[in-house]
Amino acid sequence: MSTEQQPDVTARVRRTATRLADGRELIYFDDSEPYVSGAATRRLDDPRPLPDRYAPVVDADGVAHPVTGPELRLDPLTGEWIPMAAHRMNRTFLPPADANPLAPARPGAAYQDGEIPDTDYDVVVFENRFPSLMTVPGVDTGTELVDGEPLWQRRAGVGRCEVICFSSDPTASLATVGPRRMRTVVEAWTDRTRELSALPGVEQVFCFENRGKEIGVTLHHPHGQIYAFPYVTPRTQAMLRQARAHHETTGRLLLRDVLDAELRHGRRVVLESEHWVAYVPYAARWPVEVHLAPRRDVPDLPALTDAEKADLSTTYLTLLRRLDQFFVDGDGGAIPLPYISGWHQAPVREGRDVSRLHLQVFSVLRAPGKLKYLAGVESAMASWISDTTPERIARRLQELA
């Protein structure tokens, strides 16, 4: 374990919103001059000849049909809502470097099919062109029976899916952006959590990042995603059940007690700062897994203070840099870790009294060149089997301090 002495990172971010050619929202989050002061403004117009995303769709016979969004189907065996987003089959997949839709526009180019109109940016957020969830104006959001069968329920897949680009440099990663830019990312996550939580029908906001081809990333530009769900996700429901039971028994927050227990014993604590603690959870299920939690009880990102967000901006980068050294190749060179990282925040309405903010980072890489593939009991029965122990994971991360 090590305690990190972190410099303060002052937040100074300018937020500028615009609309893309098809009506989707795009927001620049600027921390550099001349944009942060307002002396200059990013390009706000989108010259692409894209049709309005809600415009009627014309079929092969020339007949126009109203646009339809994703739908949700209720699994009668588990009670879980399953989004059906068939249009995502045609989304961008591993484009060549000169066709990266997340890169800034090429200087002097009259038109390109990229999502960011300006030739540079600091951090940018925009609505996904191929969303898993989308609110279509005028669509009935109620639950209906399919073919009159009570077992088959469906409703519109309302909500919102956004992309957040951490850097305009396609060769960068979140771990390399630096504390000042990381603070801008934190401000963007906070802004989007607050704004999306206020949308009608949204029950949970999830900010996350997938990194690495082993995870299944289809665009290697440094970016993450933000989902505004119209339901509370199954993982969160399970955590809420445990948290409620613990609270009813003890009167305390489960995640508060988990953090206190990890700090008391210390074996799995891998990083500490003034406001944050990183630890490998007692029952970690992935080959590499770390939780990063605030010392203070807060439900979500908007509840963090400026000091906590500044500390997070340096502490998280320290953790990511260590994770990128977890595995080494035959020559002793560090192997960039493929990972999934996501913020567990309190839902918009349900269970806020027993929820506590924390970040989960995990990887499917169990050794250099070897992935953890889910076995039959894991995929079919959700009965997990770990290939290592949390103490081994923690020991390696402690060594890297």
**Is residue 82 predicted with pLDDT exceeding 70?**
yes
Catalytic one of 65, 87, 223, 265: 223
- Residue 312: CB partners within 8 Å, gap ≥ 6? 186, 275, 276, 294, 304
**In the structure, what pLDDT confidence band is assigned to residue 93 with cuts at 50, 70 and 90?**
very low
Residue 260, pLDDT score: 98
Give me the chain's average pLDDT, please: 92
Q: Which of 197, 168, 229 is nearest to 43 (CA)?
A: 168
Distance CA 243, CA 39 (A): 49
- Residue 101: CB partners within 8 Å, gap ≥ 6? 92, 95, 113, 114, 115, 129, 219
Which domains does the chain possess? 14-231 (3.30.428.10), 235-399 (3.30.428.10)
Helix boundaries (H) for 176-293 = 179-197, 234-250, 254-265
Tokens of 294: 């605030």
Helix boundaries (H) for 299-373 = 306-323
Residue 92, pLDDT score: 47
- Region of 251 (left: φ > 0; alpha: ψ -120 to 50; beta: rest) is left
Annotated catalytic, 223?
yes
Residue 65, pLDDT score: 85
Q: What is the mean pLDDT of residues 117-126?
A: 97
Residue type, position 335, single letter:
I
| Helix, strand, coil percent content, the chain, rounded in steps of 5 | 25, 25, 50
- pTM exceeds 0.85 for this model: yes
**What percent of the chain is predicted at pLDDT more than 90?**
82
